[in-house]
Protein backbone atom coordinates (compact mmCIF):
# COMPACT_ATOMS: atom_id res chain seq x y z
CA UNK A 1 0.00 0.00 0.00
CA UNK A 2 2.74 2.45 0.99
CA UNK A 3 4.50 1.62 -2.28
CA UNK A 4 1.41 2.72 -4.17
CA UNK A 5 1.31 6.00 -2.25
CA UNK A 6 4.94 6.74 -3.04
CA UNK A 7 4.17 6.39 -6.76
CA UNK A 8 4.71 9.37 -9.03
CA UNK A 9 1.04 9.82 -9.94
CA UNK A 10 0.27 13.30 -8.69
CA UNK A 11 -3.34 13.00 -9.85
CA UNK A 12 -3.73 9.85 -7.81
CA UNK A 13 -2.49 11.67 -4.71
CA UNK A 14 -4.82 14.59 -5.04
CA UNK A 15 -8.07 12.76 -5.77
CA UNK A 16 -7.25 9.86 -3.51
CA UNK A 17 -7.32 7.35 -6.40
CA UNK A 18 -4.66 4.74 -5.84
CA UNK A 19 -3.77 1.99 -8.26
CA UNK A 20 -5.33 -1.39 -7.38
CA UNK A 21 -7.53 0.31 -4.81
CA UNK A 22 -11.11 -0.97 -5.01
CA UNK A 23 -13.69 1.72 -5.59
CA UNK A 24 -16.59 2.28 -3.18
CA UNK A 25 -18.94 0.79 -5.80
CA UNK A 26 -16.99 -2.45 -5.76
CA UNK A 27 -17.01 -2.52 -1.96
CA UNK A 28 -20.74 -1.82 -1.92
CA UNK A 29 -21.33 -4.64 -4.41
CA UNK A 30 -19.35 -7.05 -2.25
CA UNK A 31 -21.36 -6.06 0.84
CA UNK A 32 -24.66 -6.41 -1.05
CA UNK A 33 -23.66 -9.86 -2.33
CA UNK A 34 -22.66 -10.99 1.16
CA UNK A 35 -25.88 -9.63 2.67
CA UNK A 36 -27.92 -11.30 -0.05
CA UNK A 37 -26.16 -14.64 0.58
CA UNK A 38 -27.07 -14.46 4.28
CA UNK A 39 -30.67 -13.47 3.49
CA UNK A 40 -31.07 -16.20 0.85
CA UNK A 41 -29.61 -18.84 3.13
CA UNK A 42 -32.24 -17.84 5.70
CA UNK A 43 -34.94 -18.12 3.03
CA UNK A 44 -33.81 -21.63 2.12
CA UNK A 45 -34.12 -22.70 5.77
CA UNK A 46 -30.43 -23.20 6.10
CA UNK A 47 -29.11 -23.66 9.62
CA UNK A 48 -25.81 -24.77 11.09
CA UNK A 49 -27.62 -27.60 12.83
CA UNK A 50 -29.06 -28.86 9.57
CA UNK A 51 -25.71 -28.53 7.85
CA UNK A 52 -23.96 -30.60 10.53
CA UNK A 53 -26.69 -33.22 10.30
CA UNK A 54 -26.25 -33.16 6.55
CA UNK A 55 -22.52 -33.76 6.90
CA UNK A 56 -23.31 -36.66 9.17
CA UNK A 57 -25.69 -38.05 6.54
CA UNK A 58 -23.12 -37.38 3.89
CA UNK A 59 -20.49 -39.43 5.72
CA UNK A 60 -22.88 -42.37 6.02
CA UNK A 61 -23.83 -41.91 2.39
CA UNK A 62 -20.20 -41.98 1.27
CA UNK A 63 -19.55 -45.05 3.42
CA UNK A 64 -22.38 -46.84 1.61
CA UNK A 65 -21.04 -45.76 -1.77
CA UNK A 66 -17.65 -47.36 -1.30
CA UNK A 67 -16.57 -49.68 -2.73
CA UNK A 68 -18.38 -49.17 -6.08
CA UNK A 69 -20.29 -52.28 -7.07
CA UNK A 70 -20.15 -53.65 -10.59
CA UNK A 71 -22.41 -56.59 -9.71
CA UNK A 72 -25.01 -55.47 -12.24
CA UNK A 73 -22.40 -54.63 -14.86
CA UNK A 74 -24.67 -55.78 -17.71
CA UNK A 75 -27.25 -53.15 -16.64
CA UNK A 76 -24.58 -50.48 -16.91
CA UNK A 77 -23.58 -51.74 -20.36
CA UNK A 78 -27.13 -51.87 -21.75
CA UNK A 79 -27.86 -48.47 -20.25
CA UNK A 80 -24.78 -46.96 -21.81
CA UNK A 81 -25.42 -48.54 -25.21
CA UNK A 82 -28.86 -46.94 -25.18
CA UNK A 83 -27.42 -43.60 -24.04
CA UNK A 84 -24.91 -43.72 -26.91
CA UNK A 85 -27.67 -44.52 -29.41
CA UNK A 86 -29.70 -41.59 -28.10
CA UNK A 87 -26.67 -39.28 -28.30
CA UNK A 88 -25.65 -40.39 -31.82
CA UNK A 89 -29.15 -40.12 -33.29
CA UNK A 90 -29.93 -36.83 -31.55
CA UNK A 91 -26.67 -35.28 -32.74
CA UNK A 92 -27.07 -36.58 -36.31
CA UNK A 93 -30.65 -35.43 -36.82
CA UNK A 94 -30.11 -32.28 -34.76
CA UNK A 95 -27.19 -31.20 -36.93
CA UNK A 96 -29.05 -32.16 -40.14
CA UNK A 97 -31.96 -29.95 -39.04
CA UNK A 98 -29.81 -27.07 -37.87
CA UNK A 99 -27.89 -26.74 -41.15
CA UNK A 100 -30.84 -25.43 -43.23
CA UNK A 101 -32.20 -23.47 -40.26
CA UNK A 102 -28.84 -21.76 -39.75
CA UNK A 103 -28.54 -20.87 -43.46
CA UNK A 104 -32.10 -19.50 -43.40
CA UNK A 105 -31.38 -17.48 -40.27
CA UNK A 106 -28.11 -15.87 -41.37
CA UNK A 107 -28.79 -12.16 -41.91
CA UNK A 108 -26.02 -11.75 -44.49
CA UNK A 109 -27.50 -14.38 -46.84
CA UNK A 110 -31.24 -14.14 -46.40
CA UNK A 111 -33.92 -11.45 -46.33
CA UNK A 112 -35.77 -10.63 -43.11
CA UNK A 113 -38.83 -12.77 -43.91
CA UNK A 114 -36.61 -15.86 -43.75
CA UNK A 115 -34.36 -14.91 -40.84
CA UNK A 116 -37.12 -14.10 -38.34
CA UNK A 117 -38.89 -17.48 -38.36
CA UNK A 118 -35.55 -19.36 -38.30
CA UNK A 119 -34.31 -17.29 -35.36
CA UNK A 120 -37.59 -17.79 -33.52
CA UNK A 121 -37.28 -21.59 -33.91
CA UNK A 122 -33.72 -21.56 -32.55
CA UNK A 123 -34.68 -19.34 -29.60
CA UNK A 124 -37.64 -21.56 -28.72
CA UNK A 125 -35.43 -24.66 -28.85
CA UNK A 126 -32.95 -23.01 -26.49
CA UNK A 127 -35.48 -21.64 -24.04
CA UNK A 128 -36.46 -24.87 -22.31
CA UNK A 129 -34.20 -27.25 -20.49
CA UNK A 130 -33.92 -30.68 -22.22
CA UNK A 131 -35.55 -32.28 -19.19
CA UNK A 132 -38.73 -30.23 -19.62
CA UNK A 133 -38.79 -30.95 -23.35
CA UNK A 134 -38.31 -34.63 -22.54
CA UNK A 135 -41.33 -34.57 -20.23
CA UNK A 136 -43.47 -33.10 -23.00
CA UNK A 137 -42.23 -35.73 -25.46
CA UNK A 138 -42.82 -38.53 -22.97
CA UNK A 139 -46.44 -37.42 -22.90
CA UNK A 140 -46.46 -37.47 -26.72
CA UNK A 141 -44.58 -40.70 -27.56
CA UNK A 142 -44.50 -42.59 -24.28
CA UNK A 143 -41.64 -43.60 -22.01
CA UNK A 144 -38.44 -44.74 -23.64
CA UNK A 145 -35.51 -43.82 -25.80
CA UNK A 146 -37.53 -42.12 -28.55
CA UNK A 147 -38.62 -39.32 -26.19
CA UNK A 148 -34.98 -38.84 -25.22
CA UNK A 149 -33.86 -38.66 -28.85
CA UNK A 150 -36.55 -36.11 -29.71
CA UNK A 151 -35.79 -33.95 -26.65
CA UNK A 152 -32.08 -33.90 -27.41
CA UNK A 153 -32.72 -33.12 -31.11
CA UNK A 154 -34.53 -29.99 -29.92
CA UNK A 155 -31.60 -29.11 -27.63
CA UNK A 156 -29.09 -29.71 -30.45
CA UNK A 157 -30.99 -27.48 -32.87
CA UNK A 158 -31.00 -24.76 -30.21
CA UNK A 159 -27.25 -24.95 -29.62
CA UNK A 160 -25.70 -25.91 -33.00
CA UNK A 161 -28.26 -23.82 -34.88
CA UNK A 162 -27.42 -20.67 -32.91
CA UNK A 163 -23.63 -21.04 -33.07
CA UNK A 164 -23.65 -22.10 -36.72
CA UNK A 165 -25.85 -19.14 -37.60
CA UNK A 166 -23.41 -16.79 -35.90
CA UNK A 167 -20.48 -18.47 -37.68
CA UNK A 168 -22.14 -17.94 -41.06
CA UNK A 169 -22.77 -14.29 -40.26
CA UNK A 170 -19.06 -13.78 -39.60
CA UNK A 171 -17.82 -15.14 -42.95
CA UNK A 172 -16.11 -13.00 -45.55
CA UNK A 173 -18.53 -11.89 -48.25
CA UNK A 174 -15.82 -11.61 -50.93
CA UNK A 175 -15.89 -15.33 -51.69
CA UNK A 176 -19.70 -15.28 -51.86
CA UNK A 177 -19.47 -12.39 -54.29
CA UNK A 178 -16.97 -14.32 -56.41
CA UNK A 179 -19.14 -17.44 -56.59
CA UNK A 180 -22.22 -15.32 -57.37
CA UNK A 181 -20.33 -13.51 -60.15
CA UNK A 182 -19.96 -16.81 -62.00
CA UNK A 183 -23.74 -17.03 -62.10
CA UNK A 184 -23.98 -19.85 -59.59
CA UNK A 185 -27.42 -20.71 -58.16
CA UNK A 186 -28.07 -20.28 -54.43
CA UNK A 187 -27.29 -23.90 -53.54
CA UNK A 188 -23.86 -23.67 -55.19
CA UNK A 189 -23.20 -20.41 -53.35
CA UNK A 190 -23.83 -22.24 -50.08
CA UNK A 191 -21.74 -25.31 -50.98
CA UNK A 192 -18.77 -23.49 -52.54
CA UNK A 193 -18.88 -20.07 -50.89
CA UNK A 194 -20.26 -20.56 -47.38
CA UNK A 195 -19.49 -24.12 -46.27
CA UNK A 196 -15.72 -24.12 -46.88
CA UNK A 197 -15.41 -21.08 -44.62
CA UNK A 198 -17.32 -22.55 -41.68
CA UNK A 199 -16.77 -26.31 -41.94
CA UNK A 200 -13.96 -26.29 -39.35
CA UNK A 201 -16.09 -24.57 -36.75
CA UNK A 202 -19.07 -26.77 -37.63
CA UNK A 203 -16.99 -29.88 -36.86
CA UNK A 204 -16.10 -28.31 -33.50
CA UNK A 205 -19.77 -27.63 -32.67
CA UNK A 206 -20.81 -31.14 -33.72
CA UNK A 207 -18.21 -32.93 -31.60
CA UNK A 208 -19.08 -30.68 -28.67
CA UNK A 209 -22.77 -31.39 -29.16
CA UNK A 210 -22.19 -35.16 -29.31
CA UNK A 211 -20.35 -34.83 -26.02
CA UNK A 212 -23.11 -32.68 -24.53
CA UNK A 213 -25.82 -35.05 -25.78
CA UNK A 214 -24.06 -38.00 -24.18
CA UNK A 215 -23.96 -36.14 -20.87
CA UNK A 216 -27.54 -34.92 -21.21
CA UNK A 217 -28.83 -38.36 -22.15
CA UNK A 218 -27.97 -39.41 -18.58
CA UNK A 219 -30.19 -36.56 -17.44
CA UNK A 220 -33.28 -37.19 -19.59
CA UNK A 221 -33.19 -40.81 -18.41
CA UNK A 222 -34.03 -39.62 -14.91
CA UNK A 223 -37.49 -38.44 -16.04
CA UNK A 224 -38.09 -41.65 -18.01
CA UNK A 225 -36.61 -41.04 -21.44
CA UNK A 226 -34.32 -44.08 -21.54
CA UNK A 227 -30.57 -44.56 -21.29
CA UNK A 228 -28.23 -44.89 -18.34
CA UNK A 229 -30.15 -42.24 -16.39
CA UNK A 230 -32.99 -44.70 -15.85
CA UNK A 231 -30.61 -47.21 -14.23
CA UNK A 232 -29.07 -44.40 -12.16
CA UNK A 233 -32.43 -43.20 -10.87
CA UNK A 234 -33.52 -46.77 -10.10
CA UNK A 235 -30.29 -47.23 -8.13
CA UNK A 236 -31.10 -44.14 -6.04
CA UNK A 237 -34.62 -45.31 -5.37
CA UNK A 238 -33.41 -48.74 -4.23
CA UNK A 239 -30.72 -47.08 -2.05
CA UNK A 240 -28.03 -49.08 -3.89
CA UNK A 241 -25.52 -46.28 -3.56
CA UNK A 242 -22.53 -48.49 -4.44
CA UNK A 243 -24.19 -49.24 -7.80
CA UNK A 244 -24.86 -45.49 -8.21
CA UNK A 245 -21.16 -44.76 -7.66
CA UNK A 246 -20.21 -47.41 -10.23
CA UNK A 247 -22.48 -45.71 -12.81
CA UNK A 248 -21.11 -42.25 -11.93
CA UNK A 249 -17.51 -43.44 -12.37
CA UNK A 250 -18.43 -44.98 -15.72
CA UNK A 251 -20.12 -41.74 -16.83
CA UNK A 252 -17.02 -39.69 -15.94
CA UNK A 253 -14.77 -42.19 -17.75
CA UNK A 254 -16.94 -42.17 -20.88
CA UNK A 255 -17.12 -38.37 -20.92
CA UNK A 256 -13.31 -38.19 -20.62
CA UNK A 257 -12.91 -40.72 -23.44
CA UNK A 258 -15.37 -38.68 -25.50
CA UNK A 259 -13.24 -35.58 -24.97
CA UNK A 260 -10.16 -37.41 -26.28
CA UNK A 261 -12.10 -38.78 -29.25
CA UNK A 262 -13.47 -35.36 -30.15
CA UNK A 263 -9.97 -33.86 -30.06
CA UNK A 264 -8.88 -36.61 -32.46
CA UNK A 265 -11.79 -35.96 -34.83
CA UNK A 266 -11.07 -32.23 -34.80
CA UNK A 267 -7.44 -32.93 -35.73
CA UNK A 268 -8.49 -35.09 -38.69
CA UNK A 269 -10.74 -32.34 -40.06
CA UNK A 270 -8.51 -29.36 -39.35
CA UNK A 271 -5.41 -30.70 -41.09
CA UNK B 1 15.24 -25.99 -50.32
CA UNK B 2 15.23 -24.27 -53.71
CA UNK B 3 17.00 -27.31 -55.16
CA UNK B 4 14.27 -29.61 -53.93
CA UNK B 5 11.62 -27.35 -55.42
CA UNK B 6 13.33 -27.22 -58.77
CA UNK B 7 13.30 -31.00 -59.04
CA UNK B 8 9.50 -31.22 -58.79
CA UNK B 9 8.26 -32.20 -62.26
CA UNK B 10 5.99 -29.67 -63.94
CA UNK B 11 3.31 -32.26 -64.56
CA UNK B 12 2.78 -32.96 -60.85
CA UNK B 13 -0.88 -32.65 -59.77
CA UNK B 14 -1.25 -30.94 -56.41
CA UNK B 15 -3.67 -32.41 -53.93
CA UNK B 16 -5.03 -30.83 -50.81
CA UNK B 17 -4.84 -33.93 -48.63
CA UNK B 18 -2.31 -36.73 -48.39
CA UNK B 19 -3.43 -40.32 -48.84
CA UNK B 20 -3.36 -40.82 -45.07
CA UNK B 21 -5.55 -37.79 -44.46
CA UNK B 22 -8.01 -38.95 -47.12
CA UNK B 23 -8.14 -42.40 -45.56
CA UNK B 24 -8.72 -40.92 -42.09
CA UNK B 25 -11.55 -38.76 -43.38
CA UNK B 26 -13.20 -41.56 -45.30
CA UNK B 27 -12.91 -43.84 -42.29
CA UNK B 28 -14.52 -41.17 -40.14
CA UNK B 29 -17.44 -40.69 -42.52
CA UNK B 30 -17.91 -44.47 -42.65
CA UNK B 31 -17.80 -44.60 -38.86
CA UNK B 32 -20.49 -41.92 -38.60
CA UNK B 33 -22.69 -43.72 -41.15
CA UNK B 34 -22.28 -47.07 -39.39
CA UNK B 35 -22.96 -45.51 -35.95
CA UNK B 36 -26.16 -43.85 -37.17
CA UNK B 37 -27.34 -46.97 -39.04
CA UNK B 38 -26.68 -49.23 -36.06
CA UNK B 39 -28.42 -46.83 -33.69
CA UNK B 40 -31.50 -46.51 -35.90
CA UNK B 41 -31.69 -50.26 -36.28
CA UNK B 42 -31.25 -51.27 -32.67
CA UNK B 43 -32.83 -48.45 -30.69
CA UNK B 44 -35.88 -49.45 -28.76
CA UNK B 45 -38.77 -47.57 -30.36
CA UNK B 46 -42.43 -48.46 -30.20
CA UNK B 47 -43.61 -47.18 -33.58
CA UNK B 48 -47.32 -47.25 -32.72
CA UNK B 49 -46.58 -44.64 -30.07
CA UNK B 50 -44.82 -42.46 -32.63
CA UNK B 51 -47.77 -42.52 -35.07
CA UNK B 52 -49.99 -41.67 -32.12
CA UNK B 53 -47.87 -38.64 -31.20
CA UNK B 54 -49.74 -35.82 -33.04
CA UNK B 55 -53.00 -36.89 -31.44
CA UNK B 56 -51.38 -36.99 -28.01
CA UNK B 57 -49.84 -33.54 -28.54
CA UNK B 58 -53.23 -32.12 -29.50
CA UNK B 59 -54.74 -33.70 -26.41
CA UNK B 60 -52.04 -32.13 -24.25
CA UNK B 61 -52.59 -28.75 -25.89
CA UNK B 62 -56.31 -28.94 -25.17
CA UNK B 63 -55.68 -29.83 -21.54
CA UNK B 64 -53.17 -27.00 -21.16
CA UNK B 65 -55.51 -24.36 -22.55
CA UNK B 66 -56.56 -22.11 -20.89
CA UNK B 67 -53.71 -21.88 -18.35
CA UNK B 68 -54.85 -21.77 -14.73
CA UNK B 69 -53.53 -18.26 -14.08
CA UNK B 70 -54.98 -18.16 -10.55
CA UNK B 71 -52.39 -20.80 -9.64
CA UNK B 72 -49.51 -18.32 -10.11
CA UNK B 73 -49.94 -16.18 -6.95
CA UNK B 74 -50.86 -19.26 -4.89
CA UNK B 75 -47.81 -21.49 -5.42
CA UNK B 76 -45.78 -20.60 -8.48
CA UNK B 77 -44.52 -17.23 -7.27
CA UNK B 78 -42.96 -18.66 -4.10
CA UNK B 79 -41.41 -21.47 -6.13
CA UNK B 80 -40.04 -18.92 -8.58
CA UNK B 81 -38.34 -16.96 -5.79
CA UNK B 82 -36.91 -20.23 -4.49
CA UNK B 83 -35.51 -21.02 -7.95
CA UNK B 84 -33.93 -17.56 -8.08
CA UNK B 85 -32.29 -18.04 -4.67
CA UNK B 86 -31.03 -21.52 -5.60
CA UNK B 87 -29.44 -20.26 -8.82
CA UNK B 88 -27.86 -17.15 -7.28
CA UNK B 89 -26.60 -18.81 -4.11
CA UNK B 90 -25.24 -21.71 -6.15
CA UNK B 91 -23.36 -19.26 -8.37
CA UNK B 92 -21.89 -17.43 -5.35
CA UNK B 93 -20.78 -20.72 -3.73
CA UNK B 94 -19.25 -21.94 -6.97
CA UNK B 95 -17.26 -18.69 -7.24
CA UNK B 96 -15.74 -19.31 -3.79
CA UNK B 97 -14.61 -22.84 -4.67
CA UNK B 98 -13.70 -22.25 -8.32
CA UNK B 99 -11.19 -19.44 -7.59
CA UNK B 100 -8.61 -21.58 -5.71
CA UNK B 101 -9.15 -24.56 -8.03
CA UNK B 102 -8.61 -22.47 -11.16
CA UNK B 103 -5.39 -21.06 -9.67
CA UNK B 104 -4.21 -24.61 -8.96
CA UNK B 105 -5.18 -25.70 -12.47
CA UNK B 106 -3.33 -22.90 -14.30
CA UNK B 107 0.18 -24.23 -14.97
CA UNK B 108 1.77 -20.77 -15.19
CA UNK B 109 0.72 -19.87 -11.63
CA UNK B 110 1.14 -23.32 -10.10
CA UNK B 111 4.18 -24.88 -11.76
CA UNK B 112 3.52 -28.28 -10.22
CA UNK B 113 2.28 -31.11 -12.46
CA UNK B 114 0.67 -33.07 -9.62
CA UNK B 115 -1.37 -30.13 -8.31
CA UNK B 116 -2.43 -29.19 -11.85
CA UNK B 117 -3.63 -32.72 -12.50
CA UNK B 118 -5.45 -32.84 -9.16
CA UNK B 119 -7.30 -29.57 -9.82
CA UNK B 120 -8.13 -30.56 -13.40
CA UNK B 121 -9.51 -33.92 -12.26
CA UNK B 122 -11.72 -32.18 -9.70
CA UNK B 123 -12.99 -29.77 -12.34
CA UNK B 124 -13.66 -32.53 -14.89
CA UNK B 125 -15.54 -34.65 -12.36
CA UNK B 126 -17.64 -31.66 -11.40
CA UNK B 127 -18.49 -31.00 -15.03
CA UNK B 128 -19.21 -34.55 -16.16
CA UNK B 129 -21.84 -35.18 -13.50
CA UNK B 130 -25.05 -33.48 -14.48
CA UNK B 131 -26.69 -30.97 -12.13
CA UNK B 132 -29.73 -33.23 -11.91
CA UNK B 133 -27.50 -36.09 -10.74
CA UNK B 134 -25.73 -33.81 -8.27
CA UNK B 135 -29.20 -32.85 -7.00
CA UNK B 136 -30.08 -36.54 -6.51
CA UNK B 137 -26.89 -36.97 -4.46
CA UNK B 138 -27.54 -33.95 -2.26
CA UNK B 139 -31.21 -34.75 -1.77
CA UNK B 140 -29.94 -37.99 -0.25
CA UNK B 141 -27.51 -36.02 1.94
CA UNK B 142 -29.48 -32.92 3.02
CA UNK B 143 -32.99 -34.22 2.49
CA UNK B 144 -35.46 -32.84 -0.09
CA UNK B 145 -35.53 -29.05 -0.37
CA UNK B 146 -33.87 -26.01 -1.89
CA UNK B 147 -30.65 -26.40 0.12
CA UNK B 148 -29.82 -29.59 -1.82
CA UNK B 149 -30.57 -27.68 -5.03
CA UNK B 150 -28.24 -24.78 -4.19
CA UNK B 151 -25.37 -27.11 -3.28
CA UNK B 152 -25.98 -29.18 -6.44
CA UNK B 153 -25.91 -26.07 -8.63
CA UNK B 154 -22.69 -24.98 -6.92
CA UNK B 155 -21.03 -28.37 -7.47
CA UNK B 156 -21.93 -28.41 -11.15
CA UNK B 157 -20.84 -24.78 -11.68
CA UNK B 158 -17.41 -25.17 -10.06
CA UNK B 159 -16.17 -27.25 -12.98
CA UNK B 160 -17.50 -24.82 -15.59
CA UNK B 161 -16.24 -21.64 -13.92
CA UNK B 162 -12.94 -23.25 -12.88
CA UNK B 163 -12.16 -24.54 -16.35
CA UNK B 164 -12.88 -21.27 -18.15
CA UNK B 165 -11.17 -19.15 -15.50
CA UNK B 166 -8.14 -21.45 -15.47
CA UNK B 167 -7.83 -21.09 -19.24
CA UNK B 168 -8.13 -17.32 -18.93
CA UNK B 169 -5.37 -17.32 -16.28
CA UNK B 170 -3.10 -19.37 -18.53
CA UNK B 171 -3.50 -16.82 -21.31
CA UNK B 172 -2.40 -13.87 -19.16
CA UNK B 173 0.50 -12.06 -20.79
CA UNK B 174 3.81 -12.90 -19.16
CA UNK B 175 5.21 -9.35 -19.25
CA UNK B 176 3.22 -7.90 -16.37
CA UNK B 177 4.00 -10.92 -14.18
CA UNK B 178 7.70 -10.70 -14.98
CA UNK B 179 7.72 -7.02 -14.08
CA UNK B 180 6.10 -7.78 -10.73
CA UNK B 181 8.55 -10.60 -10.09
CA UNK B 182 11.47 -8.31 -10.91
CA UNK B 183 10.15 -5.83 -8.33
CA UNK B 184 10.22 -8.62 -5.74
CA UNK B 185 6.46 -9.17 -5.49
CA UNK B 186 5.29 -12.19 -3.52
CA UNK B 187 3.10 -14.90 -5.08
CA UNK B 188 -0.01 -13.31 -3.51
CA UNK B 189 0.87 -9.90 -4.91
CA UNK B 190 1.49 -11.40 -8.34
CA UNK B 191 -1.99 -12.92 -8.32
CA UNK B 192 -3.69 -9.79 -6.93
CA UNK B 193 -1.93 -7.18 -9.07
CA UNK B 194 -0.77 -9.19 -12.10
CA UNK B 195 -3.27 -11.92 -12.88
CA UNK B 196 -6.49 -10.57 -11.37
CA UNK B 197 -6.69 -7.27 -13.33
CA UNK B 198 -5.99 -9.22 -16.53
CA UNK B 199 -8.74 -11.81 -16.04
CA UNK B 200 -11.31 -9.55 -14.32
CA UNK B 201 -13.53 -8.94 -17.39
CA UNK B 202 -13.38 -12.62 -18.35
CA UNK B 203 -14.24 -13.58 -14.76
CA UNK B 204 -17.37 -11.43 -14.59
CA UNK B 205 -18.51 -12.54 -18.01
CA UNK B 206 -18.06 -16.22 -17.02
CA UNK B 207 -20.01 -15.67 -13.79
CA UNK B 208 -22.86 -13.94 -15.64
CA UNK B 209 -23.00 -16.71 -18.24
CA UNK B 210 -23.10 -19.35 -15.53
CA UNK B 211 -25.78 -17.47 -13.59
CA UNK B 212 -27.92 -17.44 -16.72
CA UNK B 213 -27.41 -21.20 -17.18
CA UNK B 214 -28.07 -21.82 -13.49
CA UNK B 215 -31.43 -20.04 -13.64
CA UNK B 216 -32.48 -22.45 -16.39
CA UNK B 217 -31.09 -25.51 -14.64
CA UNK B 218 -32.48 -24.73 -11.21
CA UNK B 219 -35.97 -24.61 -12.70
CA UNK B 220 -35.84 -28.38 -13.31
CA UNK B 221 -33.97 -29.52 -10.18
CA UNK B 222 -37.28 -29.84 -8.35
CA UNK B 223 -38.16 -32.88 -10.47
CA UNK B 224 -35.88 -34.89 -8.17
CA UNK B 225 -37.02 -33.02 -5.05
CA UNK B 226 -34.47 -30.20 -4.83
CA UNK B 227 -36.92 -27.31 -4.56
CA UNK B 228 -37.96 -24.50 -6.88
CA UNK B 229 -40.25 -24.43 -9.90
CA UNK B 230 -39.54 -28.05 -10.80
CA UNK B 231 -41.12 -29.23 -7.56
CA UNK B 232 -44.36 -27.37 -8.37
CA UNK B 233 -44.24 -28.76 -11.91
CA UNK B 234 -43.72 -32.30 -10.70
CA UNK B 235 -46.72 -31.99 -8.39
CA UNK B 236 -48.88 -30.62 -11.22
CA UNK B 237 -47.81 -33.35 -13.68
CA UNK B 238 -48.37 -36.12 -11.15
CA UNK B 239 -51.95 -34.93 -10.64
CA UNK B 240 -52.47 -34.40 -14.43
CA UNK B 241 -53.28 -30.70 -13.94
CA UNK B 242 -51.90 -29.66 -17.30
CA UNK B 243 -53.41 -26.17 -17.10
CA UNK B 244 -51.14 -25.58 -14.08
CA UNK B 245 -48.17 -27.09 -15.92
CA UNK B 246 -48.85 -24.54 -18.66
CA UNK B 247 -48.61 -21.68 -16.13
CA UNK B 248 -45.28 -23.02 -14.86
CA UNK B 249 -43.92 -23.43 -18.40
CA UNK B 250 -44.94 -19.85 -19.20
CA UNK B 251 -43.20 -18.68 -16.01
CA UNK B 252 -39.99 -20.52 -16.94
CA UNK B 253 -40.09 -19.03 -20.44
CA UNK B 254 -40.55 -15.52 -19.02
CA UNK B 255 -37.70 -16.04 -16.54
CA UNK B 256 -35.36 -17.26 -19.29
CA UNK B 257 -36.16 -14.25 -21.46
CA UNK B 258 -35.72 -11.80 -18.55
CA UNK B 259 -32.47 -13.52 -17.56
CA UNK B 260 -31.11 -13.15 -21.07
CA UNK B 261 -32.02 -9.44 -21.16
CA UNK B 262 -30.41 -8.79 -17.75
CA UNK B 263 -27.24 -10.67 -18.71
CA UNK B 264 -26.93 -8.82 -22.01
CA UNK B 265 -27.36 -5.48 -20.23
CA UNK B 266 -24.73 -6.20 -17.57
CA UNK B 267 -22.29 -7.68 -20.07
CA UNK B 268 -22.43 -4.52 -22.12
CA UNK B 269 -21.80 -2.41 -19.00
CA UNK B 270 -19.03 -4.59 -17.60
CA UNK B 271 -16.98 -5.32 -20.67
Predicted ipTM? 0.74
CATH 1.10.3720.10 spans which residues of chain A? 73-270
Residue B215: is its pLDDT beyond 80?
Answer: yes
Instruction: Give the gap in angstroms from C-alpha A139 to the nearest C-alpha of chain B.
Output: 7
Which residue of B lies nearest to A235 if distances are taken between CA atoms? B136
Per-residue pLDDT tens digits for A3-50: 444 444 444 445 555 666 677 777 888 888 888 888 888 777 777 777
Q: Do residue A219 and residue B56 have CB atoms under 8 angstroms apart?
A: no
Instruction: Give the gap in angstroms from C-alpha B139 to the nearest C-alpha of chain A.
Output: 10
- Which residues does chain A have within 8 Å of residue B224's beta carbon, measured at their own beta carbons? 222
Q: Do residue B17 and residue A271 have CB atoms under 8 angstroms apart?
A: yes
Q: Do residue A219 and residue B133 have CB atoms under 8 angstroms apart?
A: yes
Percent of chain B with pLDDT over 90: 6
CATH number of A73-270: 1.10.3720.10
Residue A3's pLDDT is what? 43
Residue B48: is its pLDDT beyond 80?
Answer: no
* Least confident window among A61-70, A205-214, B144-153: A61-70
* HEC profile of chain B: CHHHHHCCCCCCCCCCCCHHHHHHHHHHHHHHHHHHHHHHHHCCCCHHHHHCHHHHHHHHHHHHCCCCCCHHHHHHHHHHHHHHHHHHHHHHHHHHHHHHHHHHHCCCCCCCHHHHHHHHHHHHHHHHCCHHHHHHHHHHHHCCCHHHHHHHHHHHHHHHHHHHHHHHHHCCCHHHHHHHHHCCCCHHHHHHHHHHHHHHHHHHHHHHHHHHHHHHHHCCHHHHCCCCHHHHHHHHHHCCCHHHHHHHHHHHHHHHHHHHHHHHHHHHHHC
Q: Do residue B217 and residue A129 have CB atoms under 8 angstroms apart?
A: yes
Per-residue pLDDT tens digits for B251-262: 888 888 888 888
Residue A270's pLDDT is what? 67
Average pLDDT of every residue of chain A: 82
Q: Do residue A223 and residue B45 have CB atoms under 8 angstroms apart?
A: no
Amino acid sequence: MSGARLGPTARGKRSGIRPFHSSWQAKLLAIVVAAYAVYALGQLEFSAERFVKGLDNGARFLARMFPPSYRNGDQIVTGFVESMQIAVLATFFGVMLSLPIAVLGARNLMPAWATWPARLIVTLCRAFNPVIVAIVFIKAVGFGALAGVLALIVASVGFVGKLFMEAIEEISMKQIEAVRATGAPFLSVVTYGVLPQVIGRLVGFCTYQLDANLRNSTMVGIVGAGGIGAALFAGFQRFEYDFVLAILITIIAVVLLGEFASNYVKRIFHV
Amino acid sequence: MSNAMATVPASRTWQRHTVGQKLARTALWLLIAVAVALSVQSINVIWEFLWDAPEQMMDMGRRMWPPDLAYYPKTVHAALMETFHIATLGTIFSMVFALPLSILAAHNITPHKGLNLFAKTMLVSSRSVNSLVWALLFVAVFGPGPLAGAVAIACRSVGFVGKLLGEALEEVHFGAIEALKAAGASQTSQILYGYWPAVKPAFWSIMLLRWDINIRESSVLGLVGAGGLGMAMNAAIDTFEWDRVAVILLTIFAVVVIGEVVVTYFRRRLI
